[in-house]
């Protein structure tokens, strides 16, 4: 795997009640970075991800990988799917095989790889997602969180340069979210560029290197502190401000935090606080 830059320019996609779901949307997924795609329910996050993966052909605009435009021909899609993989929100939309290892082997076999290479990739993907102990288990007996990670392993086994995850933490309990995030961290160390859609602003702030908000059929992209600190934008996007930014700003006003970038999560916030409060007299 190597890092590639995935981009979309001027996307016009789908029509819902006479209006396009996306109208002139542009996005750049920087190579080797973690991008969180934010937006309210029905804002067009999944539509954008489907466009980026090639599953949906836009009415206008283009998707490019390292500047090379995606062609919606059989050959073009085949080449694109080796570079970019989409993991759908519901794992049952991807898992079709009776056992976990067999399901994960499906993608590599479609790449025309030799049997030993397929076995190696299956083992590697299952280890990366920490589901190697489930290899021989039937898919229908797995928990929802396990099924989500197996679905991601199915895409990872194809060794894509960019991995698009549609709400990978939706419906998971806190420990399953932690396991999923740990798996994503291992993937990034393994040279995958990861894009995750979510409507959890706190998760986006603490996880992402960059965030993009789908709002009013377009995309606003930037550094997490800038985008998630823009109250007017968040209100338009029907999202809340992350608690860490709200609390951090107040603590700074009180003189308890130094100037600079605000902490993104509880651990960073606690580390940034002084050992003893300065008592004003």
Residues binding other proteins: what is the number (CB under 8 A)? 41
Which CB atom, from 119 or from 186, has the smaller least distance to other proteins?
A: 119
Please enumerate in sequence order all residues whose Cβ is within 8 A of that of 31, keeping only pairs 6 or more positions apart, or say none. 3, 4, 5, 193
State the Cα–Cα distance between residues 14 and 11, nearest whole angstrom. Answer: 10
Which CB atom, from 83 or from 200, has the smaller least distance to other proteins?
A: 83
State the Cα–Cα distance between residues 231 and 277, nearest whole angstrom. Answer: 29
Which CB atom, from 78 or from 250, has the smaller least distance to other proteins?
A: 78
Residue 16 found at the interface with other proteins (CB under 8 A):
no
Tokens of 91: 């794992």
From the CB of 219, what's the least distance to other proteins, in Å?
Answer: 22
Residue 179 found at the interface with other proteins (CB under 8 A):
no
Q: Which stretch binds other proteins (CB under 8 A): 3-11, 64-72, 134-142, 225-233?
A: 134-142
Residue 105 found at the interface with other proteins (CB under 8 A):
yes
Of the residues 37, 122, 162, 201, which one makes contact with other proteins according to CB under 8 A? 122
Which CB atom, from 55 or from 251, has the smaller least distance to other proteins?
A: 55
Which CB atom, from 115 or from 216, has the smaller least distance to other proteins?
A: 115
Which CB atom, from 80 or from 264, has the smaller least distance to other proteins?
A: 80
Residues 182-201 that bind other proteins (CB under 8 A): none
Q: Where are the alpha helices (DSSP H) in the chain?
A: 45-53, 74-83, 100-110, 115-128, 144-156, 174-189, 201-207, 224-227, 231-236, 243-253, 266-272
Of the residues 98, 182, 223, 261, which one makes contact with other proteins according to CB under 8 A? 98
Residue 94 found at the interface with other proteins (CB under 8 A):
yes
DSSP assignment of 164-189, as one string? EEESTTTT--HHHHHHHHHHHHHHHH
Residues 136-155 that bind other proteins (CB under 8 A): 136-141, 154-155
State the Cα–Cα distance between residues 187 and 125, nearest whole angstrom. Answer: 9
Q: Which stretch binds other proteins (CB under 8 A): 106-114, 194-202, 225-233, 268-276?
A: 106-114
* Secondary structure of residue 19 in the 3-state scheme: strand
Q: Which residues pair with 176 in a beta bridge?
A: none
Residue 213: name the closest of 60, 56, 83, 22 by CA.
22
Interface pattern 48-77 for other proteins (x via CB under 8 A): -----xxx------------------x---
Tokens of 17: 């009640």
Residue 231: name the closest of 245, 221, 248, 217 by CA.
245
State the Cα–Cα distance between residues 51 and 266, nearest whole angstrom. Answer: 35
From the CB of 55, what's the least distance to other proteins, in Å?
Answer: 6
Residue 110 found at the interface with other proteins (CB under 8 A):
yes
From the CB of 275, what's the least distance to other proteins, in Å?
Answer: 52
Residue 101, CB-side half-sphere exposure with 13 Å CA sphere: 14
What is the CB neighbour count within 10 angstroms for residue 279?
5
Task: Enumerate binding residues for other proteins (CB under 8 A).
Answer: 53-55, 74, 78, 81-82, 85-86, 88, 90, 92-99, 101-103, 105-107, 109-111, 115, 118-119, 122, 136-141, 154-155, 158
């Amino acid at each position: 795997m190597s890092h590639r830059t995935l981009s979309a320019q001027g996307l016009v996609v789908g029509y819902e009640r006479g209006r396009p779901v996306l109208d002139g949307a542009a996005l750049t997924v920087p190579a080797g970075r973690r991008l969180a795609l934010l937006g309210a329910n029905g804002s067009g996050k999944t539509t954008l991800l489907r466009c980026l993966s090639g599953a949906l052909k836009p009415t206008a605009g283009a998707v490019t990988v390292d500047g090379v435009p995606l062609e919606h021909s059989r050959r073009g899609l085949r080449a694109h799917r080796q570079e970019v993989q989409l993991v759908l929100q519901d794992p049952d939309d991807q898992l079709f095989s009776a056992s976990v290892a067999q399901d994960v082997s499906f993608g590599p076999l479609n790449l025309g790889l030799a049997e030993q290479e397929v076995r190696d990739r299956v083992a590697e993907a299952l280890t990366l997602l920490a589901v190697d102990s489930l290899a021989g288990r039937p898919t229908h007996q797995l928990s929802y969180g396990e099924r989500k990670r197996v679905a991601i392993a199915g895409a990872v086994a194809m060794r894509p340069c960019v991995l698009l995850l549609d709400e990978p933490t939706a419906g998971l309990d806190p420990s399953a979210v932690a396991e999923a995030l740990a798996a994503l961290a291992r993937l990034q160390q393994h040279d995958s560029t990861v894009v995750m859609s979510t409507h959890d602003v706190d998760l986006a702030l603490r996880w992402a290197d960059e965030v993009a908000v789908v709002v009013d059929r377009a995309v606003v992209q930037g550094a997490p502190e800038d985008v998630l600190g823009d109250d007017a934008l968040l209100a338009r996007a029907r999202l809340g401000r992350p608690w860490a930014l709200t609390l951090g700003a107040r603590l700074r006003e009180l003189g308890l935090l130094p100037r600079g970038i605000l902490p993104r999560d509880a651990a960073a916030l606690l580390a940034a606080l002084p050992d003893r409060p300065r008592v004003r007299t």
